[in-house]
Every structure is written in C-alpha cells, then in structure tokens.
Structure 1
Amino acid sequence: MQSDIQNRRIRERHDARTGWAFMAPFFIMFLLVFAVPICVAIYQSFFRQVASGGGLYGGGELTNQFVGLDNFAMVIASGDFWSGMGRVVVYAAFQIPIMIISALVLALVLDSFLIRRVGFFRLSYFLPFAIPGIVAAMVWLYIYTPELSPIVKFFDSLGIHVDFMAPGAPILASMANMTTWTYTGYNMLIFLAALQAVPHELYEAARLDGASSWQIVRQIKIPMVSGAALLAVLLSIIGTIQLFNEPAVMQSANGWMGYAYTPMMMAYSTMFGTISPGGDGPASAISIVMALVAGGLAVIYALLQRKTVR
C-alpha cells in the first residue's frame, strides 16, 4: 500500500515536471516580450530626459532625471491626450457594434445549412486580417484620396461630392471602415468556434419541439455565444484605445490631424521627440495611462454585461 502511494507521488512529480518543461518556452517568451517590457515602461515613466551642463540654455548632453509622478501629471493635464481619447471612444461607440454584429451574422451563416463550402468562405472572410495593418491602411488611403480614388471619381461623375477625409465624423467613419474590413473575419472565427462547440443535440431537441430556424438562432445560438461576444468586445475595446496604423497613415495625407490625433499617435510622437517633452519617460507615462483607461473601460463593459445577463 505504501509503495503504491510512493509510486503515485513519483508519477505526479514526473507529470508536474513534464508539464513545466512544456510550459517553460511560453513562460520565458511571456516574460521577455510582455512582462519585462511592462516593468521597464513603468520604471521609465518616473524619469525624464533633461539637458545637463551649464549655460543659458542648459547645454550638455541629455540625461535621465527622476521626476516622480510629473510625467503622469503632464498626461492627465494634457488636453491633446483627452481629445485623442475622446475621438477613439466616439470611434469605438459605432465601430465596435457594427463589426461585432457583422462578425456574428457571418458566423451564423457559416454555421447554418446555407453554406456548403465553409472552409472557402471562412478563409475568405479571415484573409483581410492576414494583410499587414500598415499595408491595408495604405491601400485604403489610395481609395480615399480624391485625386486617385475611382470611388470618388465615380460619385463626382454623378454630381455628388464625397470627401472621405473631411474633419470630424467622415474621417472617423473612414478609419472605422478600414478596421471593420480588417477585423470582422477575425471576430467571426471567435463566434464560429463558439457555435461549433454547442452540442447539436440542443438543435435537434428544439426542432422536435417545433422550434423554427429563427427561434433556434435567437434562443439557443446567440445566448450560447455570449461568452465569445464578451471576449470579442473586450479585445476590440483594448485594440481601439491602441488605434495607430489607420490614423498614422491618414495623417500623412492630412496634416491637419496633427501628431496627437489618437493617444497611441501621441505616445509614438512623444517617444521620438516630435511632441515636447519627449523621450522614453513621457511616452511610457502616456502608454500606462492608456492601459489604465482601456482596462477601466473593459471592466465597466464586463460588469454591465454581467448585470444584463443576470
């Protein structure tokens, strides 16, 4: 009896070591590309580059000086930061629902009996996500540029003036279209995986009870993918706060946008000194405040979603 217990403990220790050995590469990479950069950013956020040496204008070389929470105070008091945050929140308010609903509809269609070659359509919908974001943004910039766009020229021939890059709602809608085109297929796969995990016995039981196809979709399929919907929306909220590729490419053709049109653009421009005060410290502070705002919005949505489900 005692020998059996010892053998079982030996097997458990062996299984534990095997599990840790398989997990070690992921854990090491997680530390290198995620945990360590976050710690470095937090550390750098308490410093700022200042000119050392004498003279009327300081002179000398740039040195890192500990400034405490001054970088965070600068971000919180920055009107450009909160203006950019307001733009991405407005952007998310109409872009995320359109994208999530479109992804859910596509997933429901692929999970139905209407589509026979599911693999072909699944790959086709996902393909835009495989295109590098900066490349996709440049293609859409070509489509939006009045001098080059065949769409703009077509509307001009009808006597309708269309400006996809006008300040305000038009340029936000243009960027939302770019993001929706890219990420709808990605979110569709999340919904499709959740739908395929639903036991088909539920559908068969519902049909035996006289439920129609629409009732099955509304009362079984959609409620069963609520967890996937929560995941997709949370990822979308976090991604929207980090919006960069689309506005950065649009800014190259629309100088009026400035270098702080979104918080991520502000962090990037601060990092390279385009916005003053620049350097690693202020840019890290902007990134940390962005992360806190994104986390706060994600938590608020999760709590509201949980109350709605209850």
Structure 2
Amino acid sequence: MTSPAHRKSYGVKGAPYAFLLPAATLFALFFVLPIGYAIWLSFRKVHVSGLGLGVGARKEVWAGLENYKDALTDNEFYHGALRVLGYGCIVVPVMLGLALLFALMLDTERVRLAPFTRLAIFLPYAIPGVVAALLWGFLYLPSVSPFYYILDKLNLPQPDLLNGGALYLALSNIAVWGGTGFNMIVIYTSLRSIPAEVYEAAKLDGAGPLQIALKIKIPMVAPSLVLTFFFSIIATLQVFNEPTTLKPLTNSVSTTWSPLMKVYVDAFGKGDIYSAAAEATLIAIATLVLSFGFLRAANRRNKQEAAP
C-alpha cells in the first residue's frame, strides 16, 4: 500500500508536467500535427484514371520525391527564391543597421523625449502588414501620392517605384519601416541591461561616447543582434504580404513573385496541395539551414573570442 508521504512526493514531482500539459497539447495539435500532415502530403499525389470521371477515377497515391523534384526544377519557384534573396540583401542590413543606430542614439544621456521617440519608432510595427503595404502602395502611385504632386510642382524627376529594380526598394522600404521598431526595442532593452559601472570605468579611462558605443555597447549587445538577425532571416524567406498587396497596383509583381506566393497559388489557385506542401517544406528546410548555420557561426565566433 502506498504511503501518504510517497503519494505527496509523487504529486509534487508530477505538478510541473500537469502545468505543461495544456501548452504541450495545444503545441502538438496546432503546430506538430499540421507540419507532420504537410510533410505527409508532400510525398503524395493524385493519380487520374481515364478521363477522371466516375468513382475511383481520382485517387491519392504515393509519389515519393517526385513533388520535391518538380519544385526544385520549377523556374517560377527558382526565380522567386532569387527575388527574395535580392530583397533580403536590402532589407536585413538596412533594417538592423537602423535599429542599432536608433537604439544607440536613444541610449545616450543627452537624448530628449526618449519615451515619445521610442514609441514613434516602434509604432509602425504595431500596424498590420497588409495595412502598411496598402498605405505605402498608394503613396507609390503617381496619381494619388502627395510626394509625386510635390515633385511635379518642383519640376523634379518622378521615379517609378513600382517597376523594374526600383520595385525591390519599394518593397524593402515597407519591411524596413515596419520592422525597425521591433528590432530597435530588442537591442535597446539589451543596452539598458549593461551595468552603469562599465560606462563609468570606460569614462575614467578616457573613452568618449563614440569609443564607448563601438567598443563596449555593440560587442555587449551582440547576442541581441544575433537574435534580431535570426528573426529577420525567417521573415525575409516568408515574405508574402507586401508583394501580394502591391500586386493589384502594378504588373511587375507576378502571382509567384516569392516562393510563399507560389505555394499559395499552387494550393488555392490550382488546387494542387501536394506540390504546395513540398514547396512549403523546402522553404522550411531552407529557413532551418540558414538559421542554424548562422547560429553555429555566431557561437563559434563567440567561443573564439572568449578563449584565452
């Protein structure tokens, strides 16, 4: 017979698992199972017999790696990946550079109206991505944009931001405008956690504000920079809202401009959920590989710097 003391000890040890059970259940139902189902669909396809009419004429069969082979040899998917690569080369460095610059500026002693400035920089992040893209889209249109009206009155050139190479700048501007505030808050919070004694010691050694920023602040917030870079890579590979929202405003944005848009078209436009599942899996794998590779490189560098 189990003693009361043993039952009490078992209840205490099992309490953490009981508290974790609801979260673990939701995680499994709404994260693990959908991912597993998408991977399962990526290895399937529909086999059509005859004209595809009648009972049993269309049935789901095992496809192996056929969907992955088709995705990797699809020119639309390939060119979409190249476009996202060019888009990311603009967005990530500019957004993180501005976030770091704003965080360093707000962390100085002479800054005025710091709470208002932090809120003003962060506020665009609180605006939904579709709304932000729609707002900027109309600002890019010469017929309704106040900027083009001012340029016209001043007899200045009016660039076409919705066509050609300028389209990358237009899309990148939306992402930078919306994401800089979040990354700035992450970096700024890390800066505020640095002990004041570190700054006092640096000032006693004769270090100026620029030297403190370059040699103390930036190295000490390196983990936050790694974190924001990690999030930025994921957001870049999954870009969807901006080009999809701007598509009705210009012919330069195709329905498959980004890989995620290609997944959407295949799944809901063509009804081919099997190819879409394979493409989505490839995007997830690319995100995992790039993120894991960057984290390993960052950890290796930190270990080398910490080694005597």
Q: Name which of 78, 96, 101 aligns with 1:100.
A: 96
TM-score, with normalisation over the residues of structure 1? 0.88
Q: Matched residues, percent identical?
A: 33
Q: Which residue of 1 aligns with 2:83?
A: 87
Report the Cα offset of residue 22 of structure 1.
3.4
TM-superposed deviation, 1:178: 0.1
Q: 5+ unaligned residues in a row in structure 2: which ranges?
A: none
Give the 3-state SS of the residue equivalent to 1:272 in structure 2: helix
**Structure 1 residue 286 corresponds to structure 2 residue 286:** no
- Stretch of structure 1 that moved more, 131-140 or 119-128: 119-128
Distance 1:19 1:200 in 2: 38
Partner Cα separation in structure 2 for residue 259 and residue 62 of structure 1 = 28
Given the alignment of the two structures, is residue 207 of structure 1 paired with residue 203 of structure 2, yes or no? yes
Equivalent residue number for residue 111 of structure 2 = 115
Q: Indicate which of 36, 48, 59 corresponds to 2:53.
A: 59
The alpha-carbon distance between structure 1 residues 10 and 165, as it changes in their structure 2 partners (threshold 3 A), is same
> Which residue of structure 1 lines up, in the alignment, with residue 20 of structure 2?
23
Quote the Cα distance in structure 2 between the aligned partners of 1:226 and 1:190: 11
Across the two proteins, how many residue pairs are aligned to each other? 297
- CA gap of 1:17–1:150, structure 2 versus 1, over 3 A, is same
Please name the residue that 2:34 is paired with: 37
Say which of 293, 299, 302 aligns to 1:300.
293
Q: Deviations over 1:187-230 (max 9, x none)?
A: 01110121122122111111122221211111111001111111
Q: 2:163·2:250 contact (CA, 8 Å) conserved in 1?
A: no
Unaligned stretches of 5+ in structure 1? 1-5
Amino acid at match of 1:97: P
Letter in 2 for 1:148: V
**Residue 185 of structure 1, CA deviation:** 0.4
Deviation at 1:28, TM superposition (A): 2.5
1:3 paired residue number: none
1:259 to 238, 243, 255: 255
| SS of structure 1 residue aligned to 2:46 | strand
Shift of the 62–204 alpha-carbon distance from structure 1 to 2, 3 Å rule, reads farther
TM-score normalised by L of structure 2: 0.88
Classify 1:115/1:32 alpha carbon distance in 2 versus 1 (closer, same or farther; 3 Å): farther
Q: 1:308 to 1:141 in 2, by over 3 A?
A: same
SS at match of 1:59: coil
Q: CA deviation at 1:306?
A: 4.3
Per the alignment, do residues 257 and 203 of structure 1 end up closer, same or farther by CA in structure 2, a change over 3 Å counting? same
Q: Distance in 1 between matches of 2:182 and 2:25?
A: 27
Letter in 2 for 1:280: I
Identify which range, 67-76 or 249-258, moves more after superposition.
Answer: 249-258
> How far did 1:255 drift?
3.1
Question: Paired residue for 1:196?
Answer: 192
Is 119-128 or 173-182 further displaced after alignment? 119-128
Task: Confirm or deny: 8 A CA contact 1:155 1:162 kept in the other structure.
Answer: no
RMSD over aligned Cα, in angstroms?
2.3
Q: SS of the counterpart of 1:255?
A: coil
Instruction: Give 3-state SS (helix, strand or coil) of 1:146's partner.
Output: coil
Q: How far off its partner does 1:234 sit?
A: 1.1
- 2:13, 2:46 → 1: CA distance? 47
Q: Distance in 2 between matches of 1:156 and 1:73?
A: 51
